[in-house]
Structure 1
Amino acid sequence: IELEIQGGPSPRPLLSVPHLLSDESACYYHGYVLAEMAVHQTRNFFLKNFGQIVDNNKIGPMLEEAYWRPGNLEMFLDLVKKLTEEPLTGRPGSTRSRSLWMRSWVRLCAIVLWADRPATAEKERKEYDKAVARPAPGADAGEEEVDLKMRVRFVDGPTVIADTEESKGDFLAACRQFERFLEEKYPLAAGEGEGSSARTFG
């Protein structure tokens, strides 16, 4: 990993992340590394199977069933394997020629250190605009009401802006009320959004 990312050995092992105050707390930092590896693997699994993640109503139920519902009743590695159908690929010698997480690190370092930054920024902007312009399955597709079967409140400090309990459970009505609040509070920002890639509710 050190050869791939920084071109040679490191005085301190690259994945060693000791805590400033206590060695025990370093466990949490290593946990973050494992979690990030799992995020890359899970994201790739969804992209490979569905082609897109944003506004995909199939992903939420799958995450709930595989990750959130079991919670701490199952081992972390088992959860990842159950959803993505392969072990956590955290090392180059895993089931793939190079781990997803490893490739992401190398790509990130290349972007920061050597890549053509303007070209990279332009590419990322095009991908973002493309994702934003894609019609959502709910509000942007003309759906009039969305009932999430839960209470949702939009607040600004002590001020309640919108409450689904007041809109008879309609989440989109609360979103529209929140949108009006933003337009009134930030009129210049709302005006600049016209004709851009800004999303609206309803």
Structure 2
Amino acid sequence: MTSTQSTQDLLLSRIRDVPDYPRPGVMFKDITPLLADPEAFTALTDALAELCLRHGATKIVGLEARGFILAAPVAVRAGLGFIPVRKAGKLPGATLSQTYDLEYGSAEIEVHAEDLRADDRVLVIDDVLATGGTAEASLELIRRAGAQVVGVAVLMELGFLDGRARLERALHGAPLDALITV
């Protein structure tokens, strides 16, 4: 068994399926058991930090809210800065905002305007890639701030929702790394 395979197996073994949450017919993938397990959380942090180094990132963007939980320790491990991308109205001061469409409606995310610079090479980290809308909007924000996107990394990709196709178009050739695909 390869190291990558053993890491994937460890991570998968700590993700709990919760049927019919948040509504009937949905199988929710709960990562809280993974976060509660120091061995699994360390393996996840190490795997994502390795991707930061491989892609030459100088900053990490974490997407609200579970992306913060993953991205902050990765930034510390990789010795990089952490930038939160938040829901609209949660950041004080000057912000850049981006609206995006949801399945039923729209949402808006923001980043501090001064947190990213032209020489920054940014890796976006989130817990799950579903339809790709939030991640796609974050890529637009990063580029509008003048920084370069070096990739997106997620713990888990929900392949049946086809967010990869949407996001790969928005990445303009930068890599999309999913540690696990279900």
TM superposition score normalised by structure 2: 0.25
TM superposition score normalised by structure 1: 0.23
Structure with the largest fraction of strand: 2
Structure with the largest fraction of helix: 1
**Higher RCO (CA 8 Å, separation ≥ 6 residues):** 2
